[in-house]
Amino acid sequence: MQLELEREGGTLTALLIGELDHHAASDIRRRIDTAVLSCRCNHLRLDLSRLSFMDSSGIGLIMGRYRLMTSMGGRLTVENAGDRLERMIRLAGLDRLPVWNETQERNDACETH
């Protein structure tokens, strides 16, 4: 599992690469949290475009980062989840959180009409 972090202004982008399982989740959580707290970012973007696998610990990672960002008055967006990851996220009920980027929200709205 790899993690690439990039800061631009008040936004921190975390690109997750590879397989996110319970073995990798705690290290990834720690690294993201450390970066968010040190840069005092008000927006965290989780980019899942290069994530090939995620188990339930990935759901926990998203929920925990959502709680962290909202507790700081910031926001989280989850972006570029592939079809399999998006199904898992929906089954876990995370699709009800206001964390989806604009494109995904528009696609969701089109599917319901």
CATH assignment at residue 98: 3.30.750.24
How many structural domains compose the chain?
1
79: containing domain: 2-112
- What are 69-76's contacts with CB under 8 Å, separation 24+? 69/36, 69/43, 69/44, 72/36, 72/42, 73/42, 74/36, 74/41, 74/42, 74/43, 74/44, 75/42, 75/43, 75/44, 75/99, 76/43, 76/44, 76/45, 76/46
Confidence of residue 93 (pLDDT cuts 50, 70, 90): confident
| Lowest pLDDT segment from 18-32, 52-66, 93-107 | 93-107
pLDDT digits 0-9 by tens, 25-49: 999 999 999 999 999 899 999 999 9
